[in-house]
Structures are given as C-alpha cells and as structure tokens.
Structure 1
Amino acid sequence: MKKIKIIALLFASLWLSSCEEYLDINQDPSNPQVAEGHVLLPPLIASMARGEAFDSRFIGQYIQNWHSSAGGNVWDRHGYASGSDAGGEKWRQHYFALGQNIILTIKDGQEKGKWDYSGVAKAIQAWSWQTTTDYHGEMILKQMFEPNRYVFDFDKQEDVYAEVVRVCNDALTDLARTDGIVSTTSLARGDLVYKGDRSKWVKFVYGILARNAHHLSNKSGYNPDKVIEFVDKSLASNADNFEVPHTGTGTADANFFGPSRNNMGSYRQSAYIVSLLNGTVFKDVRDPRLPLMISPSVDGTYRGVNTTFGDPNSANVNTRIPTLWNTVPGAATTALNGKYIFTDKATHPLMTYFELQFIKAEALLIKGDRAKALEAYRNGITAHMAYMNVAAREQTDYLASSAVVKVAADLKLSDIMVQKYIAMWGHGCLETWVDMRRYNYSSEIFTGFVLPIATQLSADNNGKPAQRVRPRFNSEYVWNRNSLDAIGGNNFDYHTYELWFTKK
C-alpha cells in the first residue's frame, strides 16, 4: 500500500509539473508574449488615422465642412449625442488604441537599443496628447495607467500642453541617437508612413511643437519667433507630409472616407465650402480646386447645405461627400470611385507642409513681418494646389486673380485663415476647429462663415457654440463620473466651456 501511495504522489507531481509547463504559454517560443516595435508600430499608425477620421465627421459639422442630410441634426446645432460614444473615438484612441501599446514600444526600444522605435513611439504619443487635449480639454495625465486605480482625476490642459513639449524633446533625443541597433531597414519594417526615414520623423516632431506653440496665440507669452523656428525645422515640402496609407482592397483596409465604407453617406458638402470655391466669397473667381474637391449635383450645379436645415434639394440632391456621382442631367445617380481624400485607397493626411506654411504666415503677420508672411501664405496656397494636382496654368491664373493677395501691405489675417480653411477641408477638421475657437468663430476672420443663431443651437448650449467635446461616454460617464464633477463635466453645457488654450 505504501508503494502505491508513493507512486501515486510521484505521478501527481509529474502531471502537475508537466501541466504547468504546458499551460505556461509565456514560456512557449511558438507563442511569444513580448511584442516588438515593428509589430506594434503599424497598428499604432493606423489608429492615428482612425481616431481623427471617426470624430472628424462631428467636428466637420461644427466648422461647416459638411452637414447632415437631415434637418435639425444635433451636431449641426453644436450639441452632442448624450449616452453615446459618438465623438469619443479620440479619447479611445489615446487611452486604449495607442495607450499601453506606445508604452510597450518605448520599453522595447529602450531595452534593446532601438532608439529609432522609441523615438517614433514618443512622437506619436506627443501628437496624441496634443490633438486629444485640443479636442477634449482636460485629460487624465498624472494617473494614467496607475496600477490598482479604478477612478482617475483630470488634469489641467496647461499641464497636458507642457507634457507635449516634454515628450517631443524626449522623442528628438531618441531620434538623434545612432548607438544601439538603430537601423533604417529595421524601422522601415513597421513604419508605414516614412519607411524608416528618421529625419522625416524629426520634422514631424517639430510640426507638433509648432502647433503646440502656435495654438497659444491668445496668451500673453505667445512667441511667434519660436513658432517660425519650429515650422522651419519641420516639413520642408509635400514630400514630408504625414499621410497614413490605405491599400483599399476591401472595407477592412479601405480609407475611412472612401465609398466602400460609406461612413459619410448621410453627409452633404456645406454651403460654406461651396461659397469659398465657386466665386461667391472671392468675387466671381472660380477656384480650380472646386471640381477636384467637391462634386456637383446631377444637373451640374454646385450646391451645399446650410447648417441645421438639411438638404432641401429633392430634384437635384446635393452630392454625398465621399462619392463622385454621375452628373449627366437626367441620368441615374450612380456611385463611382470617389475623389480627392474620399477614395478607398487615398492616404489620410495628419500633418501637411501647406498647413505649416499657413501657421508660419499667421505667426509672421502677428509678428509684423508682412513680406515673409505673404511669402508663406502664397507657399501654402501653391503647395495645396500642387497636392491637388491642379494644372500649372490654372495655378498661375488663380495666383494672379483677385482671390490671392499679391502685395504684402494688403495681407490680412482673414486672407490667411480662409485659404488655410480651404486647404484643410475634409482631413484637417481638428486644426480648423482650433483656429475657429482661437478667433471665436469670427465671420471677419473666416469670411462668410455664420454660426447658427441661438434658437438653432442645441437646447443644452444656453446660446453658446461648442468649445470642446465631452470625454468618451463608456469610460468616463459610466465609470468615472465623480471625477468629472471637479471640472464640471457632468453639466449639460460642459461642451460649451472655453478651453485654456483659447483664453487670453
């Protein structure tokens, strides 16, 4: 009996030991549990485009890039969708899609001497802090990912802006290192945008710093020289643009704005963008970008929808945003392949040379250097027209027209901001919204722009336009409501609270 017990115990011990080894997949070389940078980086980059594109639909209504085909839409009225994650993708992007994955990429880079990967990951993190706080305002900074914590306190936007600068400087330090196993070939394995070219990532970081410094134009400490310096170190041409690619073989890898995904099917181009391109605002100067950016109705006339009113054209319906419709009068409105940034294979621009030239032009004008401001302003227009593949002759004619300022003494802030609005239309909604809030939605700065009147605004707004988007419902309003009380986040009009960066 004693021998039987000993054998039984020995068998049980061996079984448990082998079971532990079998179940411990962390030690199984066929199932590695430590993700490397080249594996993590592609989904990080894809998440950048996803977050901006998802929520651009709603910001695009605030800034009148487009409107809902149905009248009275809550976003057209500067409201929000209560009890919904609509408008919460940027929050999800920052804390969930990027969040820990960026930290893992940085950790992997630092431990293995892959400073290029850790530098790129920090650049993405800085970009995410900047864009997310410009969208939401106060954020969870100091307690982010703190272990064993179930509620999180919000930090001031001022602190988040400082964090952007800190992370950018760390990114520049890492990207400058040549020790370890830094390699263009290695970085290119995961780098979908710049194919391992660290010099372009450095330019991208300086672009983030330029935005960060320039968004503070209402502050007494605003330094236009610093903005200009950052821009000059940033993107040098359209070849440096940060654009997320799409293969477009199906809905899974198609551009968010493309016809296959049909995410914009219920939207119509705005009357405002039509007025900027068809000669209404610019005194009968037809912009050559008009047919390249937007589409006519089936009768060949370019139409747009006014905010809150929906699409009034039943016979000649306004063209749906992502789709180039058959425009032969009397023919069926069949969908074709789209145009501009609204094709399945189109890249999604997250930072462009022309955007930064307009930032530089504004900074130079504020500084008082009109001659250089005019140069940067015209560079921005030319670069965007080149990006649009506008014919050389049409570019020359437009630059010579009354729509474009030719004498430095005549240059006004509105000239710069309206041309920037055109260039950023569709893909740069968040940067445009930053501009509009910095200038309090002024129709003098954005020529021809008109906010909805108080009675057209959402009932929660108390007569005020939107200034921020509420944090993601299914994280903050379900699990973190008490922390929201400290910043007024549970108030119905929280989305109308002015942000720190816009305050004087």
Structure 2
Amino acid sequence: MKKIYMILAGLMTVSSLGCKKYFDINTDPATPQTPNSKTMIAPLFAQMERGVQFDSRYLGGVVQYFGTPNVGENHGWLPASDAMGEIWRTVYFGLGANLNLIIEDSSEKQEWNYVGLAQALKAWGWQIGTDYHGPMIVKQAYEPNRYKFDYDEQAYVYEEVVKVANEAISNLSRTDGNGAVAKLAPFDAVYAGDNSKWIKFCYGLLARNANNLINKSTYDPQKVIDYVDKALASNADNFLIKNDGTTSVNANFYGPIRSNLASYRQTRIMVGLLDGTYFTGVPGTVIDPRRATMIAPSQDGVYRGTSPGSVTAGTAPQQIPNLWGSYGTVNPGAGDNTGRYLFKDKANFPIMTYAEMQFIKAEAAFRKGEKDKALIAYQNGISASIDFVSGLGTAIPTAQKTAYMTSASVAQTEGALTLKDIMLQKYIALYAYGFVETWSDLRKYNYMEGDAQGNKPYDQVYFYPAFSADNGGKPAQRYRPRYNSEYIWNLDAIRKIGADKIDYHTVKMWFSQP
C-alpha cells in the first residue's frame, strides 16, 4: 500500500518586522485541512458500488452470472495489471482513511450516528475485502510513516468485522451527544439518517460473516438466525446505491450510457434456473416470472445463454443477447427505458437485500434441522426477490407470482425442501449484484464437490470451464491483492503470504476449509 507524502520546502526572508507564513495553508478558508464529516459521506457510497461493479467484469464470469470475453470465466488472472483489484482500491483508498477521518471528527463532535455509519462501512469493507482477497492488511493499515505493511490472516479479519460491526451498532444506538437525524439525513443517500436501518445493515454483515463459517467447528446456525432476525426486515430496508443516470458521470456502470457491458452475455445457468430446468428437470416446465426482466430471449424468441468458457453470440436470429437485451455488441442507447433489470442507466445498485437475508436464515435453519423455519425463510426470500425484480421492469402480476410460488420449482413442504433449493434460489436472487456473496457460497460448498456433510447444492448446475494455464487444474478461490499498491510497493509482504506464486489464486480460503 503506497503512501505518498509531499513536502514543500522553501526559504523565507526574515526581517526585523517578523516573517510572513506564505505556506500556511491552514489559515486559508478556501483550503480546509479538517474536512467536515457531512461532506465526505455521499461519495463513499459511490465507491462501494464502483468496487463491486468494476470487479464483477471478472468475478461475474467465475460465478457464471456473466458470459465474459476475458480471463474471468476460466478462473484466471492478469499479471502486472490492476484488473480484479478494484475492491481492494475501494477498501483502502475509496473508503480507507476517509472513514477514519469521519470517525475522528464525529467523535470529537459527539455525533455518534456519523461514527456508527462510518464503522458500518468499515465493517462492510473488511468483510467484502477478505471474502474477495483472503488475508488483508488490518493492524498496520493507515499507520503514519510506514511504507510496508504486513498482512493479517483471514481469521483475524473475520474477527475484526464482528468487532467493528458491534461498535457501529453501539454508536448507532446511542441517544446522547449531538448526532441528530436532521444533521445526517441530507447526506445519507441510502437510509436518510435512519439509525434503525443502519443497525439492521450491521446485523446483516454479522449474518454474512457467521454464515460463511459452515466448515468451522465454531459454526453456530442459531447465531446466524439471530443476526438475520435483527437485520433487514423487508425490501424497504434494502441497501441501494442510487444512480441518476443522466450522464456518463452519474449513470449506473452497467447502463447503456457507460457502454461497459456490450460484449457480456447471459449464461446457461440463469436460463436454466429461470425456465425450471434445474428445479424440475424439464426445461420450460415452470417459467419464473422474473425471467422477462432479468434476462432476454434471442431474436427468435428462445431464451439462450453462454456455456462456461464460451461467449459465442451465435448468428441471427439465434444470437444470445447481451445483458441490456441487445444483440451482437449493439448498444440500445441511453435512457431509463433502455436496458433491463440492473443494467439500466438509472438502476440503483444493491449492496444488501432482504431476500439475501432470508436465504441466509433458510440455510442456517436447514443445517440446524429446523426445516419448518427454513421453509418459511426460503419462501420469504423468493417472494421478496420477485417483488424486488417486479420494481425493475414491467410489474409482475400477482397471479403470476402466486402461480410460481405454488409451482414445482418451489418446495411446498418442509419434507420436500432441500439445501439445493435454498442455494439455487439465493443464486437467482443475488444475480448481478451479490457477486462476492455468491462466490463465498460456491467456495464454502467447494463448487460442485459439496461440503463435508455431503451437501452438493451446485452439483450438475455449475460446470467448470477450461481453466487458465496457471491454475494447475484447480478452480479460483481468491483474487490477488491490487497490483499497483502491493506487487510494486509491498512485495516482501506479498511473498510472506505466498501471493508471488503463480497459482496463489487457487489456494482455498480459511473460511472454506475445515
């Protein structure tokens, strides 16, 4: 992690009348040296979205949400490149020291809601950062006068998430001090200063953290359930990053204005999940009402998707559409009525949703043996996802939703419910936003191989592509730290964690190992 210190040196002429501090910028009202917390909040949300969306161009292929034209889909990496390092940049540069400044400034002012918000974002950063990269720099991060930084193991980072999230909950729960909602609301573009929703978000982070530990002896499904019950309670609590969508500066990264996804395709997994193939065994048996919004048909009306490692578009009228619903590399043009689902210029980007929380609860309850509780949470998750998708395109009629909820694609009884049902419906619900969370699920279940108890939720659904030559026949398990800040400036620490090895990206995460 590179820290650059710029030093101004000059000679001053000192007369008997005294000296003038020509370089004392601290006295310049136009150049404040202690930024106010309120001016720093809004840009942080854009950084969160940026990190996930930029890196999804590669991770989207690994989890097979996207058919991609790059090394992502074959589980590879790009040497000497910052590609796949945007989440790293978000954690340390986009959020990073800015959160520390907010915490310091707001603590002095006793604005505990600002402190809690900053701590919530810090916990989110550590969680997504470690789930994406593995070991992270935590203990030594932001130490002044340090130019090399040692990595902390993932187990420590997981503990830090719990610690910081609980500190955030504590500060957001305070009623003393000067942290009025009116002070925070104008700058909080997510929850408008509502402390209760920020607390729910923190419990959602704790639920993610605890739910990833199914392979550990310390895994406690009841703790996961308790966290979820205090987390997002409906779609009204969804954490959404807003996009204005009027120019390339304020538009959604996925939208036509930005033109970043023209060569990306929908996948056969999404097609098969949305037409009932992987739930009933027969394509077209049950059509998911979300299908018309989330993906698009070929020009002949048939829904098709890419296979792993292949982004062949086909020929008209059998072309596989891109994520906007256009063909070839055609950009449908800008505007709110072009594109589809989360691939619109004005689409808001989810960081956490109620549907995700319900599937986390369903998984934990199922593993605990409380199938009745698992069934309710599972069905709640599907219902919430349908409602969320309904707001992103043509509204889904109640009759269509009811027909699907009572169909063969949805388990109707606790006896019929399987872990595969839960995880595949979660996979659908997190499509095009929950990349890291979906990848965590795939890795903790060892992709198609399953966990130690024999659960194989992705068997016969996820298929490996032809792996990158660097993989040694193994799937990707992590992304390397950002090249420019680590492999250039912090190489000694990189060697200590083995990240200089050609197959480092295939080394299993701590959370996915027994």
CA contact (8 A) 1:61 1:67 kept: yes
- Residue 298 of structure 1, CA deviation: 2.1
- Which residue of structure 1 aligns with residue 265 of structure 2? 268
Aligned to 2:223, the other structure's residue is in SS state helix
Cα distance in 1 for residues equivalent to 2:182 and 2:217: 45
- Which residue of structure 2 aligns with residue 47 of structure 1? 47
Q: How does 1:417-428 map to 2 (within 5 A)?
A: 417-428=423-434
Does the alignment pair 1:199 with 2:196? yes
- Which residue of structure 2 aligns with residue 450 of structure 1? 462
CA contact (8 A) 1:465 1:496 kept: yes
- Which residue of structure 2 aligns with residue 142 of structure 1? 139
- Which residue of structure 1 aligns with residue 452 of structure 2? none
CA contact (8 A) 1:260 1:344 kept: yes
Cα distance in 2 for residues equivalent to 1:101 and 1:199: 23
- Which residue of structure 2 aligns with residue 355 of structure 1? 356
Query: Is the alpha carbon distance of 1:186 and 1:305 closer, same or farther for their aligned partners in structure 2, counting shifts above 3 Å?
Result: same
Does the alignment pair 1:412 with 2:422? no
Cα distance in 2 for residues equivalent to 1:134 and 1:405: 30
- Residue 83 of structure 1, CA deviation: 1.0
Q: How does 1:313-324 map to 2 (within 5 A)?
A: 313-315=314-316, 316-321=318-323, 323-324=324-325
Give the letter aligned to residue 110 of structure 1: S
Cα distance in 1 for residues equivalent to 2:249 and 2:435: 23
Does the alignment pair 1:397 with 2:399? no
CA contact (8 A) 2:319 2:327 kept: no
Cα distance in 1 for residues equivalent to 2:326 and 2:398: 27
- Residue 31 of structure 1, CA deviation: 2.7
TM-score normalized with structure 2 length: 0.91
Q: Which moved more, 1:476-485 or 1:194-203?
A: 476-485
Aligned to 1:499, the other structure's residue is in SS state coil
Q: How large is the Cα RMSD of the aligned pairs? A: 1.7
- Residue 353 of structure 1, CA deviation: 0.3
Give the letter aligned to residue 475 of structure 1: S
- Which residue of structure 1 aligns with residue 8 of structure 2? none
- Residue 355 of structure 1, CA deviation: 0.1
Cα distance in 2 for residues equivalent to 1:437 and 1:271: 20
Does the alignment pair 1:84 with 2:86? no
Give the letter aligned to residue 96 of structure 2: G
Does the alignment pair 1:242 with 2:239? yes
CA contact (8 A) 1:298 1:325 kept: no
Cα distance in 2 for residues equivalent to 1:334 and 1:113: 50
- Residue 319 of structure 1, CA deviation: 1.2
- Residue 271 of structure 1, CA deviation: 1.1
- Which residue of structure 1 aligns with residue 507 of structure 2? 497
Cα distance in 2 for residues equivalent to 1:228 and 1:297: 41
CA contact (8 A) 1:326 1:334 kept: no
- Which residue of structure 2 aligns with residue 388 of structure 1? 389
Aligned to 1:349, the other structure's residue is in SS state strand
Deviation string, structure 1 residues 89-127 (Cα, Å, up to 9, x no partner): 011111111111000000111000111000000000001
Cα distance in 2 for residues equivalent to 1:86 and 1:14: 58
Deviation string, structure 1 residues 474-499 (Cα, Å, up to 9, x no partner): 01111111111111100000000001
- Which residue of structure 2 aligns with residue 13 of structure 1? 15
Cα distance in 2 for residues equivalent to 1:74 and 1:279: 30
Deviation string, structure 1 residues 229-259 (Cα, Å, up to 9, x no partner): 0000010000000011011110101111111
CA contact (8 A) 1:203 1:234 kept: yes
Cα distance in 2 for residues equivalent to 1:160 and 1:16: 53
Deviation string, structure 1 residues 432-456 (Cα, Å, up to 9, x no partner): 0000001011274125423325xx1
The number of equivalent residue pairs is 482
Cα distance in 1 for residues equivalent to 2:440 and 2:290: 24
- Which residue of structure 2 aligns with residue 3 of structure 1? none
CA contact (8 A) 1:298 1:333 kept: no
CA contact (8 A) 1:468 1:498 kept: yes
Cα distance in 1 for residues equivalent to 2:384 and 2:268: 25
Q: How does 1:427-466 map to 2 (within 5 A)?
A: 427-442=433-448, 444-446=456-458, 448-452=460-464, 456-466=466-476
Cα distance in 2 for residues equivalent to 1:263 and 1:393: 36
Cα distance in 1 for residues equivalent to 2:252 and 2:510: 33
Aligned to 2:19, the other structure's residue is in SS state helix
TM-score normalized with structure 1 length: 0.93
The gaps in structure 2 that reach 5 residues or longer are 1-12, 391-395, 450-455
Cα distance in 1 for residues equivalent to 2:479 and 2:217: 26
- Which residue of structure 2 aligns with residue 117 of structure 1? 114
Does the alignment pair 1:222 with 2:222? no
Aligned to 2:488, the other structure's residue is in SS state helix
- Residue 197 of structure 1, CA deviation: 0.5
CA contact (8 A) 1:281 1:447 kept: no
| Higher helix proportion | 1
Aligned to 2:135, the other structure's residue is in SS state coil
- Which residue of structure 2 aligns with residue 376 of structure 1? 377
Give the letter aligned to residue 490 of structure 2: N
- Residue 12 of structure 1, CA deviation: 5.5
- If you compute each CA radius of gyration, which structure gives the higher value, 1 or 2? 1
Deviation string, structure 1 residues 377-412 (Cα, Å, up to 9, x no partner): 000000000111122111100011100000101111
Deviation string, structure 1 residues 297-352 (Cα, Å, up to 9, x no partner): 2222211111112215022321111x23389xxxx985561111111111110000
The gaps in structure 1 that reach 5 residues or longer are 1-10
